[in-house]
Amino acid sequence: YYSKNNHRKWMIWSDRLRAEQSQRDTIETGLRRALDNGEFYLEYQPQYSRGGEVASLEALLRWRTPDGKIIAPATFIPVAENSGLILNISEWVLEQTCRQLKLWQSQPLFDALRVSVNISPRQLRRTDFIKSVEQVLTRSGINPQQLSFEMLETALTDNMPDAQRKLNILKEMKINIALDNFGTGMASLTGLRKLAIDEVKIDRSFVFDMTENDDFLITIRGIVAMCQALNINIVAEGVEKPAQFAALSDMGCHRFQGWLFSRARSPEQLNEILQRRGL
């Protein structure tokens, strides 16, 4: 009886593993065509200052497959990262963002905006990462001060000396550096001090539960105190409720990103949003 039951469980488990693997394979095959097919596009989510102005935008990658399905980055980015396809995709994201920034620079509503791009761990590890950034900047002719890179803690702490060196060069180039999803890794105070970081983005899982669960509130307080001591800007992501915004604003967060204010939008939709706020 025991072994029969176990065997059944094992069958279910291996069926599921097989199904997941085959889904990953399908995604990988699709990703291989997506770039050439023009299936990727970017949406931009505004970040607001304390006063309610749009201070910057985060470029977020979207994938529309030929059958019209939109696949979430949480589903395809890990596959792209594992297969190495992320390198070509990341190049496209950076290039496309800079092209969009260049277009926006000629519009009064957008000319002071900063746009942030998510940098994948594998992209950062490339030995020619800095060179590729320089090339994109030269090609697009944008002002590097209008560009921000969002990186994950683990991408920086995995190889600290390499990350430290690259971040210092990016800082010299005047590119803004943000630590994304902060609090989920284990970045230490000394780690933060060693790295040329301009801002920290508090992970949205903390914001999500902060008004329900004191543990998260206390964690956020700790992050804010640490960043203030180090003179690092604090961005709260995933702000969905007015109560969250009020508490985060009281604590001293500098910028706010979340569905309470705006979801990620196309450049055309942003035009409208900014026009409305500008009046």
Contacted entry of Mg ion, ligand C2E, none for residue 73, CB cut-off 5 to 8 Å set by kind: ligand C2E
Backbone angles phi, psi at 130, to 5 degrees: -60, -40
Per CB under 5 A, the list member of 46, 129, 180, 210 interacting with Mg ion is: 180
Subset of residues 79 to 138 that bind Mg ion, contact rule: CB under 5 A: 118
In the shown chain, the binding pattern of residues 20 to 49 toward ligand C2E, with x for contact by CB under 6 A and - for none, equals -------------------------x----
- Output the CA angle 236-264-75, nearest 5 degrees: 90
DSSP secondary structure code for residue 120 in this structure: P
Contacted entry of ligand C2E, Mg ion, none for residue 173, CB cut-off 5 to 8 Å set by kind: none
Subset of residues 208 to 267 that bind Mg ion, contact rule: CB under 5 A: 237
> Per rule CB under 6 A, is residue 153 in the interface with ligand C2E?
no
The amino acid at residue 118 is N
DSSP secondary structure code for residue 13 in this structure: H
* Burial (0-12, 13-18, 19+ Cβ within 10 Å), 256: buried
CB of 186 to ligand C2E, least distance (A): 18
Backbone angles phi, psi at 47, to 5 degrees: -115, 130
Beta-carbon count within 10 A of 127 CB:
8
Per CB under 6 A, the list member of 180, 187, 220, 247 interacting with ligand C2E is: 180
Residue 174 near residue 210 (C-beta atoms within 8 A) = no
Contacted entry of ligand C2E, Mg ion, none for residue 122, CB cut-off 5 to 8 Å set by kind: none
Residues that bind ligand C2E (CB under 6 A): 45, 60-61, 72-74, 77, 90, 93, 118, 120, 150, 180-181, 204, 237-240, 257-259, 264
